[in-house]
Structures are given as C-alpha cells and as structure tokens.
Amino acid sequence: MSLAETLRQARRRMVLRKSRRFIKATAAFISRQGLVEDRPVHDAAAFPFVAQLEANWTKIHAELGVLLKDRARLPSFHQISPDQQYISTGDHWKVFILFGFGAPSERNCARCPETARLLRGVPGLQSAWFSILAPHYHIPRHRGVTKTLLRTHLGLIIPARRDKCVMQVGDRLVGWEPGKCLVFDDFYHHEVWNDTDEERVVLILDFVRPMRPLGRVINAVLMWGIKRTAYFKDAKRNQKNWDERLESATQTADKMMDEAAPPG
C-alpha cells in the first residue's frame, strides 16, 4: 500500500470515529425531537406509507424474482460498503441497491420500476435495497448510522421455519412475514439469524424519523456531512461499478440468447 493510500485510510478511520462519537452524543437529543416514541420496534400501522407497500408487495416480489435470476452476479454488502466487512462475509449477504442516502440508482430503479415508484412515495426516504440473506448465516450485533432514521423491512421471501429466522432489536425478538412490514429503530443494537436451509429476502428502506423542526434541521446537516465522507463516497463509487458490471453481463446474456434462438 502506498504512503498516500495509508494516509487516506488513516484519515478515513479518524473521520469515522469522530462522526460516530458526535452521532452518539446527539442521539438522546434526537429522541426528544422525535414525534414517535423512542423504542426498538414500532407499530407499522402508524406509518401511512406501509399500507401502500403491503398492498403492492406482490408487484415488488415479481420484480425481485427477475433479479434473483442474476443472483450470482449481485454484489455482497461489503463489496458495496467496505465498512460492513465485520458483519458481511463471503457471498452470504447479497444486495441490490435502489436508493442510497437519498440518491437513486437510476439503472437499478429502471430494472424495478414498480418498486421504485412505490419507494418514491415514502416520505423522507433515504436508502432502499433488496437484502438477500443466505441459509445458515448470522449477522453479528451492530447498529445503524444515525438516530434520525427509522428502518422498515418488507418481507418478500421468508423461510418456512420462521422461528429459526429471527432478529433481535434491543430487547425485542422479532420475525418476518411475507407481504408485511416491520418498522424498527436500527440505532438500537440488532442481530439477525437465519438458521434454516432457505434464503431470506426483504426490501429494506430507511426513512427520516418524524421529528420537530429542529430535529429535521439536524438530520439535514447530518446527511450533508455523511455524503461528504468516504463512507458514502466509496459506497457510491462501488455501487456504480457493480451496476455497470451487472448491466453489461445482462446485455451479453440477452444477446447470446437471441443468437441461440432458432430462426423464424
């Protein structure tokens, strides 16, 4: 590794440490700014956009089905965001990114137009992606980036042994149901187990916690700062490279199928 790269990595680690300290220090204040109770798991029905997602979940499931044909070409989480290396290893946790901190992946949204349309109707949407968890994989205990966001999981493909595919958020143990949303605060430490022979697939989306005006201002400042760090820039660059790679592979496969098709 060159000296310049070593210095860049050192600066990156320092910025991340300072950012995490600041975010943790402001978490209690953000909680007081919230218009919803500070708790690990929320009542999904309290958020109006949930009804739209659940009513149209089969459309999202259908678009997911097309993507899963290219499962082997999809990136693992840490290949998009290097900061996830301690919770994502090998090919066990694959992702397909649609939105990242408010910025849409136009290529990926075009491949899932109904899903993208529904996501654009979520107030304060920040990030959204399909999360594909392999059988017998465990996501270690971790927490989200900021208290200003809440997270939703829409169940799409859920193992039959639901008691063996669960998540702990704070002191709550929860599971998923096909076509149902789970809303939680991922700033609480959480951990996932898929102790089954089947994969688990959910649509994950992060949206701005309903807050008073000052809280919304703080969130805007935090998002502005995050977008200027390596945490965001590296992920955005990696996502762009993987999107281009997937599009190229898909076009090549389509061309080969056309050429192999019998005439007439």
Q: Which residue has the higher pLDDT, 101 or 121?
A: 121
**Structure confidence at residue 158 (pLDDT):** 98
- Residue 9 within any structural domain of the chain: no
Number of domains present in the structure of the chain: 1
Residue 258 CA to residue 194 CA, distance in Å, equals 39
- Residue 77 within any structural domain of the chain: yes
Residue 140 structural domain: 37-244
Report the predicted TM-score, pTM, of the whole model to 2 decimal places: 0.87
Task: Tell me the residue type at 96.
Answer: F
- Residue 7 within any structural domain of the chain: no
Helix (H, G, I), strand (E, B) or coil at 138: strand
What DSSP letter does each residue of 38-63 carry, written as one string? Answer: --SEE-GGGSTHHHHHHHTHHHHHHH
- Residue 229 within any structural domain of the chain: yes
Check which CATH number belongs to the domain holding 141 and give it. Answer: 2.60.120.330
Strand partners, 165: 194
> What would the pLDDT profile of 91-111 be if each residue is shown by its tens digit?
999 999 999 988 899 999 999
- Residue 255 within any structural domain of the chain: no
